[in-house]
Structure 1
Amino acid sequence: MVQDLFVSGIPYAEKALRTILVYMLVLVLLRVAGKRELAQLNTFDLVVTLLLSNVVQNAIIGSDVSVSGAAFGAAVLVGVNAVVVRLTARYERISKLLEGTATVLARNGRWLPAANGWHGMRPEDLEVAIRRQGGDGVADTALVTLEPGGTLVVSLNRKDQAADKSDIHALQEAIAELRRALAVSDET
């Protein structure tokens, strides 16, 4: 019984190969499924994500149920992921291949139906993203993009943007200038 805890049921080289192959398979599946899978997990996407890990588990572990085999497989998985992340950060071509590029969903206050339909984004979810970022609706936007990692980025029209630190600083400077001008006119 104790031996079953620490003796791998399959060779470590096979376990490493299985882990790498399944990692690549899941990476490709998620890439094909699209950025929406990462952006807006709805109930259906969550179920698929949870079941996906269970479906591929046996392909990784094979007949091995040992603790040492699990630890080795986990280490290989974390190591492969670290290498892939570093490669995508360093090489733009690999990043584009594995992660894709940003997709424009709206431009100049109008949705681009073809892009939204392709990614399966619901208009209601997109409108919520716009409201979270300070807009009232798509009419307030200059650009809405779905980034490779699944993040929705909303760029509001200049007139619809909230004040930032530089705007506040400019107002403070203008008020100070007015005060100086008033002080000079009061003296005369």
Structure 2
Amino acid sequence: MFDISLPWWEFIARGLIIYLALLLLVRISGKRTVGQFTPFDLVVVLLLSEAVSNGLSGGDDSVSGGLIVAATLVGLNFALGWLTSHYEPLEKAVEGREVLIGRNGELYERVLRRERVSPADVHKVLRENDCALKEMRCIFLEADGSISVIKK
């Protein structure tokens, strides 16, 4: 149960590689993918976890190996959180920044397409904020995938 079949450092290396690869994939997938899960997105996340599980453990089923990988992932998450809070360029690279998607009643269609935001999503947020399109001063796609509106 506690006897590991791989060297301890290999669990750490596997955790580091998988963590960074998934972080890159999630970052590339865009703000809206992370910000609002559709049933399809949830299935992808569940399948991703299953797909990388063997890569993390290297086929080892021991409790010790699982704890080493878990501690590595939590440690990496803590370290990345600390680094992004202290180094703005890294925060921008990892978490992204807000994007202006409309101003003064005009939506920027090209930006919406690039960020994979549907006009229907924008209009829904406008309705939720009791703001007509012509009353909108600025509308942003936030780094977390939410949309915020500033009225005139």
Tell me the TM-score normalized by structure 2. Answer: 0.92
Where structure 1 has 5 or more consecutive residues not aligned to the other structure, the ranges are 158-188
Give deviations 1:130-159, integer Å, cap 9, x for gaps.
223x224433321111122223222122xx
Matched, 1:140 2:135: yes
CA contact (8 A) 1:10 1:63 kept: no
Is 1:118 matched up with 2:118? no
Correspondence 1:1-188 to 2 at 5 A: 5-132=1-128, 134-157=129-152
Between Structure 1 and Structure 2, how many residues are aligned?
A: 152
Q: Which amino acid aligns with 1:148?
A: A
What is the alpha-carbon distance in structure 2 between the residues aligned to residue 56 and residue 107 of structure 1? 42
Question: Share of identical aligned residues, percent?
Answer: 34
Distance 2:132 2:75 in 1: 43
Structure whose CA Rg is larger? 1
Q: Look up the equivalent residue of 1:97 and give its one-letter code.
A: A
CA contact under 8 A between 1:141 and 1:154: conserved in structure 2? yes
Structure 2's unaligned 5+ residue stretches are: none
Q: TM-score, normalised by structure 1?
A: 0.75
By percentage of residues, which structure has more helix?
1
- RMSD value, Cα: 1.4
Q: Which consecutive aligned stretches of 4+ in structure 1 deviate over 4 angstroms post-superposition?
A: none
